[in-house]
Amino acid sequence: MSNEVKHLVLGSDEAETTIESYINIGCPFCSTYIKVIDEIYAPYIESGKIKHVIKHVDRTNGALLKGTVAATYLNYDEPEKAYKDMKKLLETRPEWTGSFEETLMKLEALDLVEQVGQAGRTREILAEAAERGVRVVPTVFIDGEKFDFPVKGEDAEIAEAFKTKLESL
């Protein structure tokens, strides 16, 4: 087993543009962000123009703690499945963030199994997030530059911000 820290990566390493998304799957704003950008990023990922690196930021309060627990069940060795499972968790977030019992029942219903070896990734992401000034989720970097968008905005506002940015690249 390798000590290499894996992130959830969609797209090619040879992509012209790298988008890094710091999220927590217990966060309602992350749920909106992923829902909105999923269709926007897809053609860019498929054509090899962008690589999307999703970095789960563990938090210890409220629904975010439930998101932290749920994230340990995503299998990063199968990125497409992990992304699909993550989207399902984000879509159904209100159903499972009320209690840990609900969280575990949802993970079981999705046939997810807790993955081992998460500590290294957690430490790396937390250190990196602190170094980069990531205080809230979602926070997005495009080619290493923080991209400000209306985190609490309506779907259309968020979509427009990302469409405009991607078209300018």
| Segment 101-136, tens digit of pLDDT | 999 999 999 999 999 888 889 999 999 999 999 999
> Look-up: residue for tokens 């159903």?
95
Cis bond before residue 79 (omega within 30° of 0): no
Q: What is the pLDDT of residue 3?
A: 52
Topology of 8-168 in CATH? Glutaredoxin (3.40.30)
4 band by pLDDT with thresholds 50, 70 and 90: low
Q: What is the pLDDT of residue 26?
A: 98
- What sign has the CA pseudo-torsion 153, 144, 79, 104? negative
Place of tokens 């209306």: 150
Nearest-angstrom CA–CA distance, 85 and 87: 5
How confident is the model over 68-81, as pLDDT tens digits?
999 999 999 999 99
For the cut 90, the answer to whether the pLDDT of residue 167 exceeds it is yes
Q: Which residues of 126-138 are buried (b: 16+ CB within 10 A; e: fewer)?
A: eeebeeeebeebb
Q: What is the pTM of this model?
A: 0.95
Mean pLDDT calculated for residue range 60-87: 96
